[in-house]
Chains A and B, each alone.
Chain A
Amino acid sequence: MCTYATMHCDVDGSGKGPNGAWLHVTHATVYFDHPVHAMADHTLNIDLTDPSKGPAARVALELTAESARRLVAAIEEAMASVPAALTV
């Protein structure tokens, strides 16, 4: 089914986007729904975007539920593995 649920957050960083070009990303949307490309019925989808640069300014991820959870854990682990002063 289409879940309609969409989470939003501001972000600040860069992503490698269309045509291999880097772009400054300011916004993230996160949702669990049908993917466009991944071979799964539903995936955890993340769009990192710069809305001011139009729809194509997007870095997209489609991850199976299990791999999305692994990614979250790996992000937390990476953040915890360095001195807290570096991550302020």
Chain B
Amino acid sequence: MSDSLSATTVHIAGAGGDQIEAYVARPDDDGPRGGVVVIHHMPGYDRATKEIVRRFAELGYDAICPNLYYREAPGAAPADAAATARAQGGVPDDRLVGDVGGAAAYLRALPSSNGKVGVIGYCSGGRQSVLAACNLDLDAAVDCYGAFVTGTPPEGMPMRNNIVDQLPNLRAPLLGLFGDEDQYPSPEQVAELTQILTDHGKPHEFHSYPDTGHAFFAVDRPAYRVAAANDGWERIEEFYGTHLKG
């Protein structure tokens, strides 16, 4: 396998058939191969997220990241788009599911596709990754420190509700990557998620890293933890290698 790849911006049909922007990276080799939908974090469809998309292409997957803020801020700089979307209330859960579904359909329609698509999300995207896998036909899901999959948001804060009621509908094996020092999700909330998935017979694999908090994959932030991020990437490679091959 070569590490040559191509990356570009496309437009895809998202929730409700809306045309939204997406960043796509693909290996130059012929397929067949799996695909990965990358859900960007709340700060947006930014350079760091696009680097992750290209890394998945380097790993041998067709990868795509839909711009979840395109409707509110087409063509805007990522930080400005994130601020605008936030000021307008953020991304509704049903719209997120539709956008990820559109991105997965785009990947499956590629001539190189083997029909299998995974999803991964970071921070708020971690919760959205699980949400997508509860509502869409996906083949593998990765939750990187998503808060409020389980647990109760602090009183008075208008956070997204947890998605405990949707977990029985999880349709894909779930890889969870967490930090022991994180408060949201806390080790207790991760344990609650483990218990719920076990009770429902949902395949899952969780890793939690010592001396590590939230957002440890973020190479451009002080939360970056190189040991956890390096091991996390290995866990992701192995997990997708198992569930997206063919």
Contacts of A14 in B (CB 8 A): none
Contacts of B208 in A (CB 8 A): none
Contacts of B80 in A (CB 8 A): 55-56, 58
Contact A1 B183 (CB under 8 A): yes
In the assembled complex, how far is the CB of residue A38 from the closest CB belonging to chain B, in whole angstroms? 9
Q: Which residue of A lies closest to B147 (CB)?
A: A1
Indicate whether A55 sits within 8 Å of B83 (C-beta atoms), given known contacts A34-B41, A36-B43: yes
Contacts of B90 in A (CB 8 A): 4, 6
Q: Does A60 contact B (CB under 8 A)?
A: yes
A31 vs B43: C-alpha distance in the bound complex, in angstroms?
A: 13
Interface SS, B side? loop
A47 vs B184: C-alpha distance in the bound complex, in angstroms?
A: 25
Q: Does B100 contact A (CB under 8 A)?
A: no
Contact A55 B215 (CB under 8 A): no
Question: Which B residues, 53 to 90, have Cβ-Cβ distances below 8 Å to chain A?
Answer: 72-73, 76-77, 79-84, 86-87, 89-90
Contact A56 B213 (CB under 8 A): no
Contacts of B43 in A (CB 8 A): 34-36
Contact B76 A6 (CB under 8 A): no
Indicate whether A41 sits within 8 Å of B214 (C-beta atoms), given known contacts A4-B159, A4-B160, A55-B76: yes
Contacts of A35 in B (CB 8 A): 43
Q: Which residues of A contact B (CB under 8 A)?
A: 1-6, 8, 27, 29, 31, 33-37, 39-41, 47, 49, 51, 54-56, 58, 60
Contacts of A51 in B (CB 8 A): 84, 87
Contact A27 B159 (CB under 8 A): no
Contacts of B72 in A (CB 8 A): 55
Indicate whether A60 sits within 8 Å of B42 (C-beta atoms), given known contacts A2-B123, A5-B158, A6-B87: no
Question: Which B residues, 125 to 184, have Cβ-Cβ distances below 8 Å to chain A?
Answer: 147-148, 157-160, 182-184
Contact B76 A54 (CB under 8 A): yes
Contacts of B182 in A (CB 8 A): 1
A78 vs B221: C-alpha distance in the bound complex, in angstroms?
A: 34
A87 vs B191: C-alpha distance in the bound complex, in angstroms?
A: 54
Q: Which residue of A lies closest to B80 (CB)?
A: A55
A selection of 14 A-B contacts at a CB cut-off of 8 Å is A1-B184, A3-B159, A5-B158, A6-B86, A6-B89, A29-B87, A36-B44, A36-B79, A41-B213, A41-B214, A41-B222, A54-B73, A55-B84, A60-B83
Q: Which residue of A lies closest to B78 (CB)?
A: A36
Contact A39 B222 (CB under 8 A): yes
Which 8 A-B residue pairings sit nearest by Cβ, starting from the closest?
A1-B184, A55-B76, A55-B80, A1-B147, A2-B124, A55-B73, A55-B84, A4-B159
In the assembled complex, how far is the CB of residue A25 from the closest CB belonging to chain B, in whole angstroms? 13
Q: Does B223 contact A (CB under 8 A)?
A: yes
A55 vs B80: C-alpha distance in the bound complex, in angstroms?
A: 5
Contact B83 A58 (CB under 8 A): yes
